[in-house]
Amino acid sequence: MQYLLLIYDDEKKFGALSEAEQGRVFGEYMEFTREIVKSGNHRGGEALQPVAAATCVRHKNGKTLTTDGPYAETKEQLGGYYLVEARDLDEAVAIAGRIPSVRLGGTIEVRPIMPTPQP
């Protein structure tokens, strides 16, 4: 089964870390990614630019409306994701628990991918 692991954390808190601490977090991420590639669980994953770089697209009065900023102003922001293949929810949760953001106070949302019908 495939799961999307959505990484939510407080951008401001991360920004307040020293350069050395930030570097350490990046290192942990690289190590984590290596591990799940090796274990065969990794199917994709990227860090996202901060919400200041976000744009929202909607329809209003029949026209496309483009606005600055994220979908919702929240205390924690979507900072990245991993797409993983896992045997079941427990395995996906175990992987999510090892994502570096968790020990820094972040939250991982584990969302199962909707299976697609065979042709």
Partner 1 sequence: MNLHEREVEDLYRRDYGRILATLIRLVGDFDAAEDGLQDAFATALVRWRADGMPQNPSSWIISTARHKAIDRLRRRTWLERRRDEIERHLRALQTADEGPVAEDRLRLAFTCCHPTLALETRVALTLRTLCGLTTEEIARAFLLPVPTLAQRLVRAKAKIRDAGIPYRVPPDDVLPERLDAVMAVVYLVFNEGYSASFGDRIVREDLCGEAIRLGRMLVELMPARREPRGLLALMLLHDARRATRVDEAGRLLTLEQQDRTRWDRGRIAEGAALVEDVLRGGPPSAYAVQAAIAALHCLAPAAADTDWRQIAGLYEVLLRIEPSPVVELNRAAAVAMADGVERGLELIDRLDGRPELARYHLLPAARADLLRRAGRRAEAAQAYRCALELVTNQAERRYLEARLAEVATDVCG
Name the site residues for partner 1 (rule: CB under 8 A): 1, 3, 86-90, 92-93, 110, 112, 115-118
* Between 93 and 102, CB nearer to partner 1: 93
Distance CA 95, CA 108 (A): 10
CB of 83: closest distance to partner 1 in angstroms? 15
CB of 30: closest distance to partner 1 in angstroms? 25
* Between 62 and 119, CB nearer to partner 1: 119
- In this structure, the number of other CB atoms found within 10 A of the CB of residue 4 comes to 17
Distance CA 54, CA 29 (A): 23
Burial class (CB in 10 A: 0-12, 13-18, 19+), 52: exposed
Task: Name beta bridge partners: 60.
Answer: 63
CB of 6: closest distance to partner 1 in angstroms? 14
Task: Name beta bridge partners: 107.
Answer: 8
* Between 92 and 99, CB nearer to partner 1: 92
CB of 32: closest distance to partner 1 in angstroms? 18
